[in-house]
Every structure is written in C-alpha cells, then in structure tokens.
Structure 1
Amino acid sequence: MSDAPASAAAKAPAKSLPQKAMEKLGLLRDIDFALHLPLRYEDETRVTPIADAHEGEHVQCEGEVTECRVDQRGRRVLIVRLQDDSDEVLLRFIHFYPSHQKTLAVGKRVRVRGEIRHGFFGREMVHPQFKAVQEDTPLAASLTPVYPASASLPQAYLRKAVAAGLKRADLRELLPPGVVPAKLPSLRDALNYLHHPPPQAQLSTLEDHSHPAWQRLKFEELLAQQLSQIQAQRERALLHAPALRAKAGGLVERLLAALPFALTEAQQRVSEEIAQDLAHGQPMHRLLQGDVGSGKTVVAALAAAVAIDAGWQCALMAPTEILAEQHFKKLVGWLEPLGLKIAWLTGSVKGKARQKMLDAAADGSAQLVIGTHAVIEDKVKFAQLGLAIIDEQHRFGVAQRLALRKKLASQKLEPHLLMMSATPIPRTLAMTYFADLAVSTIDELPPGRSPVSTRVFADAKRWNVIEKIQEEVARGAQVYWVCPLIEESEAMDLSNATETHAELSAALAGFSVGLLHGRMAPAEKAAVMAQFSGGEMKLLVATTVIEVGVDVPNASLMVIEHAERFGLSQLHQLRGRVGRGAKASVCVLLYTGPLSQTGKDRLRAMAETNDGFEIARRDLDIRGPGEFMGSRQSGAELLRFADLQEDSALLQAARHLAPLLLDQHPEAAHRQVARWLGAKAEFLKA
C-alpha cells in the first residue's frame, strides 16, 4: 500500500481543456473513442487546379504565396494571394493571428481547403483551412473525418485521440459464428472503414448510414441494448417484493362502491392486470399509459387500495406541485371517507407540518404519501413501502426513480413500481426501450367527454380570437390562454404571460382574468387554481405549468399562443385540459410565421387527430426516438446509431438473438453489453 498522504490526490496535474472536453463528450475508454464516429468527411486525397475549381465547391488547392498583407480599411483583414500553374485564388481571413502571417508568408508553399466563391477580384476562399507543405508532401490516403466536437476541442487534436483510441481498443469479435447477419464486415473492419474511408468511397451511403459498415454497428448496438433489457428483466425476476392481495369485502370493494362513476372496460382490465402483478412476490415493473383524460388516477387509487388493504404503504410521486395536488384532492375525496390517512409532502410543506408528515410516513400511520420530488429525499422514511406510483414518469430522471425503489432496501424487499404516462408510447419504442417493462394501456375515454375541435390561425387573426373569447365568457364559459414564456427574451420575440394577462384583462373588463406561472409561490398558484376551478375566474393566462393534471370540466376553450414553439406531445397534453365536461370544446393554435416544415407537420397533426396514440406515432416520425423518449435515457443515450423505424429488420434480429445469446453464450453477452453500454446499463433498471 502506498504511504502517500491523502492530500496527494489534490496535487494531481490539472486536466487540460481538451481532456475535459473529451470527458464531457463521454470519451473515457478506448472503445469510446473507437465508437466516436464522424459527422461528415472532407476529401484531402486530391488537389484541384485553381482554374478547375467551380463556385460553391469545397476543394483543396496547392500553390505558392505571392502576396500576404493586412488590409487596414475598416476592419483588419488578412489578404493572401495563392498561385499555382493554372490560376490564382485570393484567401481572406477576418480573424487571424501572427502565426497565420508566418505560415502564409510570401514564397511559402501551402495547401488550402475551402469553398470557392467569386469576389470582386476573381476566385476567393474565406477562412480556408491551410498548412505549409513541400512539393513532395504526400496527400491523405483516405477521406478526412470531421468529428462531433466542441469549441475547446480542435479537430486535429480529436482526430489524433480517436486514431490512438481506435488502435488501442479491443475490437475482437465477441459474438459466436452465425450471430452477425450475413455480408456484414467484422467490427474492426467496419470501424476502420468509417473512420478512414478510401477516396473512392460512396459518400451517400456513409451519410445516410446504409453502408454495410454502418449496418454492422447498428446491429451490434441494438443487440447490446436488447441484451441489457433482458438482463435487467431477469435480474428483477430474482428480486423479492411483498405479495399484495386485496381482502374480500375490503378496501378495494368499498372504494368501487363509493366512486361516483362506473369504471370503463379498459380501466377494469388494466386494474386487474396490476392486481395480478401485485399479488406476486416479484416486484411489479409496469407502465400504465393512457391518453389525456382516460382516467389513470382512479386506476392508481385502486392499486394503492390493494397495497393498503394488504397492510402496506403506498407512495405517489408527481413532477409538479399542481399535479401532485390534483392527485391529493381526488384521492383524499375518495379514500379519506373510507378511514385512510394520507400524508402530503412537497417542498412547500415546512416546519412542524413537514415533521408531522415525516413522522406519519415513518411510523406507518400514513398509509398513502403523495408529493413531488420531496418524497424521495433521504429524510423520508417509510415503515413498509409496498407500492410506489410515479406519474408522468418521463419527467423524472432515472436516478430519482431508482431512489424511490430503494426505500425498501433495508428489508431486502423491493416495492412494486407502477409508472404512469399520458404520452402514449408507439409499439416499436415500447418494444425497444421498455423490453423489460410490462405495459398496460387504457384505450378508451370515460363517457361524457366531448371531442375537442382544433383550429389553427396565424397570429394576424389574434383579435378575432379575443372577440370570440369575449362571446364565450359572456355565455358563462371558462377559457385557458397558454403562453410559452414568463418574461421577454431578447433571443426570441415571444409574447410573455405578464403582457398577455394585461392585454386580456383590458379586453375582458368586468370579468376576472387570472395569471399562473412557475415562478409564483405555491400558495399563490393554489389560490389562482381554486378561483378558476370554482368558476369565479373566467379566463386563466398560464404558462405550461397547466400541462398536466389540471381538471376544470367547465373550461371549454383553450388558446395556445406561439403553438409552433411547442412539441407535439406537449400541445396534445395542453389540449387535454379542455373537453373534460359535456360542453363542446375548442382548442385554438395561434402561430407566428414563417413556419418550418416541422412546425407545419406538428400543427397539421393536431388539427387532424385527437388520438394520443396517433399523435405519438407522428411525434416519433417528426422527432425521432431519442428526443421522443426524453428523460428515459437521462444522460444515457441508449441508441446512438440505430434508427428504430429504418432499422426494424436489424431490431427484430437482435430481439430474436438476445435471449439465445444470454442462454447459450452468457460471457459473450456480458462483454457485448459492457463494450457498448458500460455503466449506462444501470439506467435500464429504472
């Protein structure tokens, strides 16, 4: 053992900026460098005579510097004239250093690469790449890779680091014969090709990722991801959880009898699926998904009733205080009359009130604890937590979900885990990202819900919309007006909630107009929501804090300003705040042009369908799987190369082979996951 003092670590040499930048990019192991693939390529394998270079082309030319001067008129500009046997080209540098002038001095031979433009003095390049050469300096033997980088990480430095990592990386074939689809190259050959393609390589197949080298990487990645999912599923099957069964004539039956409505067939079906899971001694790991307003809260209440009836506690965690409070009010209304004690735990509960809630959770007198992130703080102890319910699970990071699961670790038991989402997940994504997760789907809305008509208007029609609001409010309707920002942003010319509130207050003189945004104190938010829910307030100007959980059946009109700035699933969530009663409801999407193609696709999808599953499918088409899944990865981008739609054949092959590989070649399977995911495999356990 070393005798070095503990403080020695503090004397370790400081990391350079490039080293820090590489770590930020996730470049830690040799294999990380090997898998850091180029964004594009530059062709430095040939020199184009200056006379043959056409406008708009990126070319490499070589010649002798015949002029190098600094133009002092206005802004200082370095002007360099380069001549070869065919013609000359002007090089223009707006930002330059003394080293530029030294390398580009008159008489020096240089090789330059850039885009040819036509200026006042003929052909020119602005800020080309350049290097000093001799007449016999060899050309590059392969295309030059351009890697994803950052400002503090020069391409030249990164290229050397990647080349060194690629050379050192262990790229031995881990997979047994017959596993890799036919006609695909070895992993080593595939990576060497992608980092250093030969001059004759077809750039189109490299850029669209259809080249066999790309196909090999995609297959490897999908296989590792599927292996890690199945491993997580099998490891969970070895864990133990309390077996929770409802009693005959107990809390579940009493709750069903007390509810002021009957469950839909879909609610009954998913409640039975959850009850069957809870009855097993293995931890449930189930996602409950349903469209906005499909009634997931009552299903959660029934699951909680099963756990409580069996003598265990339940925790329900929501991402925002507004949503947590909505759940709290509903569950208190349903469960407290049946004799249950419910604790309320959020960041705004302080002092003695907070301690009282903590004590009730710790001694077991609170059978149900509802709150926000506060539920997973270290100080929160449970007597015996049997079921954890996480609403809008995609809004929580993986570490937070893991923390909630560990609240029972001291008893060598895991709580059952039920996650809920009002953003339906397309089947392909569920198969891939949630292969280790059982999925229950509520695919029908409760009776009495009115369909929402969606209309799209340019911002020029804003006053027409305000006039319509005046009519609706005069008839007794309630209205939401949603703004994307709280304060003005210099970067984006967006109307802010405060200004809009003042404008609409003036337009609706005589009616109460409220304002709700994320920077208000919890008590202020609660007061505003109480006024709106009670019908005293006719119009509520809000930011996206109302995206989930707000339930005001009388609200029948919603206006979403700058709708082009919102994501498709967020627009659908917001629209779900209206149409919650029997009144015909309308959602107006106001946009500011010109619209991008993505913006047009989003607004068209909203106008054409109310179906959350169809919305989710289109959202996947528009955004791609990585963005759609959001916090599922939470820092662990699980698919970097494969595309779930384009590569469905490779995905199916990986799904088929993964269990066979785990059963017949467990060591190879373990190495495959370690190579591709490293520590990221832990994220799948949440």
Structure 2
Amino acid sequence: MPTTSDRRASRSGAPARPDGLTPSERKLLQLGLRTPQDLIVHLPLRYEDETRIHAVGGLVPGQAAQVDVTVIRSEVQLRPRRQLHAVVEDGTGRIALRWLHFYPNQQKQLQAGAALRVRGEVRRGFDGLEMVHPHIGRQEEPLPSSLTPVYPSTAGLTQGYLRKAIARALDIADLSDTLPEALREQHGLMPFRDAIRLLHNPPPDVSEASLREKGHPAWKRIKFDELLAQQLSLAIAREERMRQHAHQLSVRNGALEQALRSSLPFQLTEAQERVIAEIGADLTRAHPMHRLLQGDVGSGKTIVAAFAATQAIDSGQQVAIMAPTELLATQHFDKLMGWLAPLGISVCWLTGSLTGKKRKEALQAIESGSAQLIVGTQALIQEGLSFARLGLIILDEQHRFGVGQRLQLSRKGEEVATTIIPHQLHMSATPIPRTLAMTFFADLDVSVIDTLPPGRTPVVTKLADNARRDEVIQRVVAEVRQGRQAYWVCPLVQESEALQLQTAEDTFQSLAGLLPDLRIGLIHGRLPTAEKSRVMDAFRSGEYDVLVATTVIEVGVDVPNASLMVVEHAERFGLAQLHQLRGRVGRGSAQSVCVLMYQSPLSLIARQRLRAMYETTDGFEIARRDLDLRGPGEFLGIRQSGTDILRFASLAEDTQLVEKAQEAVGLMRSRYPGHARRHMHRWMKGKQDFLRT
C-alpha cells in the first residue's frame, strides 16, 4: 500500500517502528483498509471538478470552481479578527480570498504578481464574491482528465495518499465479477470492473449530480452488490440457526399458563392471543427461536412475555429478561412478580446496584437453578455469572443494547458440550418500517401486536412555543384539579453552558414555587436506585400530583391516572424518543394530552419531527419518518459500534433494489454457490456477527 519513497522517508527521518508500518499505513488500518480488496470498495464521499478552469467573471455564489489568477494584493487584516486577505484577478473579473487560520508560507505564496491556481467554493462576501480557505496550486500543473474523488478519511491521512493507495489497489486487486452474467443482464447492472473504475475515476462528461446523488448506473451496481451480500448473509444465518439445537419447550397450555390466564384481571386482545400462539409454537421446535415482538407503546407486550416464560418454566428451563435501564427492569420485575409469584414461580432480581449478601444470594439462586425467572439489566452478562439451564432469553427494547451485549447474553446460555442455544425473543415498542424489516430483520420471525387494549384512547398532541409557558402551567393545574396527574419532562439534569436548556432541577424548583398547593416530585438518572424506585412508587400511588423527570421515564412506566405530559425543549429529542414519552400517558380511560413545548427558531429537522408527532400517533408511520431522518443505526442498536452495515444503499430510496436482491438470493445459492461465496468475501468481511444478534 505505501510507496517506496514513503517507506524510505519513514526509515531515514524517523526511528524504526516495531511493527514496520508508516503512520499512513497505520491510519489505513484504522479505517479497516488492510488489503487491495478493501481499498477498491472504499468509495468516494463526493467529487471535485479539477478538469477545467472557470472565468472569474462568470462565477456565482454556491459554485465550486477552479480559477487561474494573478495576485493583485494581500495583507494580514486585524479586524474584525486576524485573517489573511488577498484580491486576485484573471482578466474577466476579481475575487477575494480569505484565510482565518494561515501559515507564513501561505503569505509568501500570495505576493503581488504571483500566478496561482485557486480552487474553492464561491460565496458572497462584504465586498463582492470571495472564497474562504481555498486550495492554492501552480498554474503550470496539468489538469486531471477525470473528476477528483474525495474519500472518507481520518486525521493524519491525506487525500493524496489515499488516492495513490487506491490507484495501486485497482491495478492488482481482483476485479472479476461476482454476479453471474444472466443475473446482471436480468437487472440491467453494469459489470463490476467498469462500475468500480468509473466511481474511482469518473470522466468529466459524467453528470456530477448523478454521482453525488448515487443515481448513476455505477452506483446502482454497487448498491445492489451491497444489498445482495447482506441478504445472502441473513439467509446463511437463518440456515445455520435451523441447524442449531435448542431445548424443545413443549409444555404448551400447561398448568402454569392456565393458572396465569385464570388469574388475570383483564381480557387479552385478539392480537395478544395470536402472538402468544406464534411464540408458543416456536418454543416447541428443536432449533432456537429468533422472534421479534413488535407492539406500539402500551400494546401489552409484557404479558405476552409472561406467557412465553410460563411455557419455558413449565418445561423445566430458566428464563432471563434483560432491560436497558434499571427503572424499566424494576417495572418488569414488579409486573411479573404480581402475575407469576402467586403461581409459585421463583422470580429473581439482578442489577448492578444489588450488592453484598443479596447479590450473592441472587447469583447462587441463578447458578443452582432455583431462580426460574431472572429479571435484570446488563448485570446478566457479567463475567462469572452462569445459568443452570437457560432456555429462553427475552430482550426488551433490544435496539438500546449494543451488538456486543446481545451476543454476550446469547452466549451465556450456550451449552458447549451439546451445542444447545437458548430461544430468543426480542421486544420493541419502536415499530420496524417495512424496508428495515426486509433488510436487517429478514432473519427474524416477526410478531406484531397491532391493537391497543380496550379502553385506551389516542393521545392528543399539542405544540406550544416556550413563550406560552404560563398557559401550559395553567393546563397542568386544571388537570390536577380534576384528580389526575401530570409528567413534566426535561432534557438535562443540571445546567449546561453548552446547552442553555431548562433543566429538571430548575423546573422542579420553579414549579414548586409557582404551584405551592401541588405536590411535585423529581426523578432523574443520577438519583440512587432506591430513591428512583421510591419516587416512582409515590407517583404511582398518587402521593405526587406532578412528576418532573428526565427521559429516565421514557419506557416501561405505567401510571394510568397520569393524563398530561409536558415535554420541555421537545425540539431536542429524537422522534422515537418523543413517541415513547408520549406513550407514558393515555394508559387509562381519561382523554390524555401531550404538550410538546419548543424554543424558536426551529431547525428543519426539528420542524419535521414535531410535525410528525402532531400529525400521527401511528407508531409505524412515526418509525418510517424516523428512519428517513436518522437512518437505520438507532433501530439496530449499532450506532455506538461505529459500524455502518449499509454504506452505500439507502433504505428510504432503494426499496426496489432490496426486493431485487432478495429475489436473487435463492438463485445465487442454488445455481451459483461459487459466485455467492466470492460475493460475500468482497462485501461482508467482519460484519456477520452483527447479523447473529
């Protein structure tokens, strides 16, 4: 990858490096670029047109341009701030150049009379057109014959080095086609060699817009390849799962399930009954279940999980339920204790805050098997904890766990000697849009609770500028006067200089002073666990009229008497988060309202989020819009991993390509297995573990 001169410079000018690599080579490794095959699919972010010279007199604001000019004058100006300023011309007009950060050699380049080639974005300045921080070169340099690619990089790795490394890789890498010719012709796809060379070196007559917007046929080929590789991986993952073994939890409609049914004070909905049957059938099979249970906020997923747990426990297995926060784990524990403990089921609690004797007793109960249902947080994947016979794993809000955490819990239940894998049920109150389900969740069986329990009324959403704060406070008072309760949600706990937002502590103090007759509580993530539980229990039992909170109450909190939610600085929250918060009200029979209070002026994305919340309460529509705004990372729980499984294809724009890739999987695996293997090797290095979870 490095040039001979690069290595020579490294040897002569710097001490020997133990790994023999130059700094630039190490930077390539940081980007995952280890081989020529890695480099050829490291594709440009954008392109710069250095193939032609523009006339200064024809430049317009917003244009990226390259001009051959002569320096008229240059100087270091001290007002309004220190900057290097120059005026240049080419015979058709003049333009100013500015650098806010500059070096002495730049000043030398800009001496009056110097002939320069300048490239940058044209903008409107105080005294006419200008370029800020343009690139400077020599007029005698030959113009390139193709658009100049700009690649994803990292600090210390220059575009010049990347371009040379990729150019060398294109000369030695395998560019043979991994798609059979019949498949290429069927879908009208360019040969891989032609597509990849064009994207690295596009000729000047290629539409720059088609490259920028990924509409060019070369991009279509690359996106199809990427989607096909992912679909092949999912098909293989599903096939491998079918070859794995799991305990057959065959006691359906057993004594525990019947006892639970008869003890419930409410009637299950048809949707709940349907998904209980779907999950129950999966658990009886000899291969591990991988099922995603989708249900909008308040649809009753926890009781479905309870029925799955009774089937596993009736069959002699342990069940682990892992939640992303201690507050949500507490809610699950309380509900499941209320339903299952009276049936004689031993329910155990394990979180990071459990210490001393209680922790030791919990670990012993889990390891001995006397604990049948274990509810907890990430403490369930701690080093040294082992289960006696873990048959079912239930992950709530699965996208909020990192991929590594989900893998760790999955491996906790693996019985290496017998290759027995636990069944897995993933629960999500964030509905998965169709395109996301077709791609990243194609290996999972999906169950949907598509109706709310009877008696629930849709929540009315209102938008209010912060200037109407007094009106909102009066709305809170009116709600409490009718015997109901309210949440007031804030984005921060303590004042931040960077984000001057109303904080939970300030809001608590302010509301307590303004409304001395109301009983106001405060809960946030920094409170000790015992105090958080005490405050939530007090609010649930009606001891507080208003609960000032951070997003610690985002999921799992169920207080039927709370009929009003105020979200402060709603423009700072994500769409899925706002939908989850709104779901904390509307859980009783009273008409509930969610007031999204915002601070003007709003950004475009903030306006789109608030408009979506105002226009619909449909979780699937919210999820679709959220996917368009944020991409799939948040849904998948891989944002924190720094890895994008899809680098080129867009789930919002390439639905047809997803469908074509899905259709091609069967053909590739049955008639062209060699092509399929080479295709996977090119595109899916190191990403299969993400699909396992």
How does the TM-score come out when normalised to structure 2?
0.92
8 A contact 2:235–2:443 mirrored in 1: yes
Partners of 1:128 and 1:427 lie apart in 2 by 44
* Alignment-mate amino acid for residue 61 of structure 1: V
CA drift of 1:359 comes to 0.5
Where in structure 1 are there 5+ consecutive unaligned residues?
1-8
Partners of 1:118 and 1:428 lie apart in 2 by 42
Q: Which moved more, 1:71-80 or 1:551-560?
A: 71-80
| Structure 1 position 207 matched with structure 2 position 212 | yes
| Structure 1 position 497 matched with structure 2 position 501 | no
CA drift of 1:116 comes to 4.3
Alignment of 1:425-444 (within 5 A): 425-444=432-451
Cα deviation digits, residues 531-550 of structure 1 (max 9, x gap): 11111011100010101000
| Structure 1 position 59 matched with structure 2 position 56 | no
8 A contact 1:516–1:541 mirrored in 2: yes
Partner SS for 1:481: strand
Cα deviation digits, residues 249-291 of structure 1 (max 9, x gap): 5111111111222211111110111111000110000001101
* Alignment-mate amino acid for residue 200 of structure 1: D
Partner SS for 1:679: coil
Match of 2:328 in 1: 323
CA RMSD of aligned residues (A): 2.4
| Structure 1 position 539 matched with structure 2 position 543 | no
Partners of 2:641 and 2:93 lie apart in 1 by 55
Cα deviation digits, residues 230-258 of structure 1 (max 9, x gap): 01000111100000012665111111111
| Structure 1 position 157 matched with structure 2 position 161 | yes
CA drift of 1:163 comes to 3.0
* Alignment-mate amino acid for residue 323 of structure 1: L
8 A contact 2:62–2:121 mirrored in 1: yes
Partners of 1:609 and 1:52 lie apart in 2 by 48
* Alignment-mate amino acid for residue 481 of structure 1: W
Match of 1:130 in 2: 136
Equivalent in 42, 50, 62 of residue 36 of structure 1: 42
Query: CA 1:392–1:57 in structure 2 vs 1: closer, same or farther (change >3 Å)?
Result: closer
Q: Which moved more, 1:553-562 or 1:161-170?
A: 161-170
Partner SS for 1:403: helix
8 A contact 1:246–1:252 mirrored in 2: no
* Alignment-mate amino acid for residue 344 of structure 2: G
Aligned residues: 675
Q: How much identity, in percent, do the aligned residues show? A: 54
Match of 2:292 in 1: 287
Equivalent in 527, 548, 565 of residue 520 of structure 1: 527
Q: Which moved more, 1:410-419 or 1:608-617?
A: 608-617
| Structure 1 position 662 matched with structure 2 position 649 | no
Cα deviation digits, residues 10-31 of structure 1 (max 9, x gap): 9335762x55554444434433
* Alignment-mate amino acid for residue 143 of structure 2: L
Match of 1:622 in 2: 629
Match of 1:47 in 2: 53
Match of 2:10 in 1: none
Partner SS for 1:11: coil
8 A contact 1:636–1:683 mirrored in 2: no
Cα deviation digits, residues 176-200 of structure 1 (max 9, x gap): 2212245432222112212221112
| Structure 1 position 243 matched with structure 2 position 243 | no
Match of 2:119 in 1: 113
Q: Which moved more, 1:190-199 or 1:549-558?
A: 190-199
Partner SS for 1:178: helix
Partners of 2:273 and 2:49 lie apart in 1 by 63
Partners of 1:661 and 1:93 lie apart in 2 by 55
Cα deviation digits, residues 337-381 of structure 1 (max 9, x gap): 111111100000011111110000001000111100001112211
Match of 2:304 in 1: 299
* Alignment-mate amino acid for residue 623 of structure 2: A
Partner SS for 2:183: coil
8 A contact 2:46–2:151 mirrored in 1: yes
* Alignment-mate amino acid for residue 41 of structure 2: L
Match of 1:5 in 2: none
Cα deviation digits, residues 593-642 of structure 1 (max 9, x gap): 22233322222222222221222223234334445444389443121111
8 A contact 1:267–1:299 mirrored in 2: yes
8 A contact 1:673–1:681 mirrored in 2: no
| Structure 1 position 268 matched with structure 2 position 255 | no
Match of 1:371 in 2: 376
Q: Which moved more, 1:287-296 or 1:106-115?
A: 106-115
Alignment of 1:445-484 (within 5 A): 445-484=452-491
Match of 1:147 in 2: 151
Where in structure 2 are there 5+ consecutive unaligned residues?
1-15
Partners of 1:57 and 1:336 lie apart in 2 by 70
8 A contact 1:103–1:132 mirrored in 2: no
8 A contact 2:399–2:634 mirrored in 1: no
8 A contact 2:402–2:637 mirrored in 1: no
Partners of 1:118 and 1:452 lie apart in 2 by 48
Partners of 2:374 and 2:78 lie apart in 1 by 72
8 A contact 1:633–1:683 mirrored in 2: no
8 A contact 2:254–2:314 mirrored in 1: no
How does the TM-score come out when normalised to structure 1?
0.93
| Structure 1 position 408 matched with structure 2 position 401 | no
Partner SS for 1:469: helix
CA drift of 1:36 comes to 2.6
Match of 1:3 in 2: none
8 A contact 2:627–2:652 mirrored in 1: no
Match of 2:227 in 1: 222
CA drift of 1:577 comes to 0.7
Partners of 1:401 and 1:69 lie apart in 2 by 59
Cα deviation digits, residues 571-605 of structure 1 (max 9, x gap): 11111111111222111111112223332222222
Partners of 2:510 and 2:45 lie apart in 1 by 47
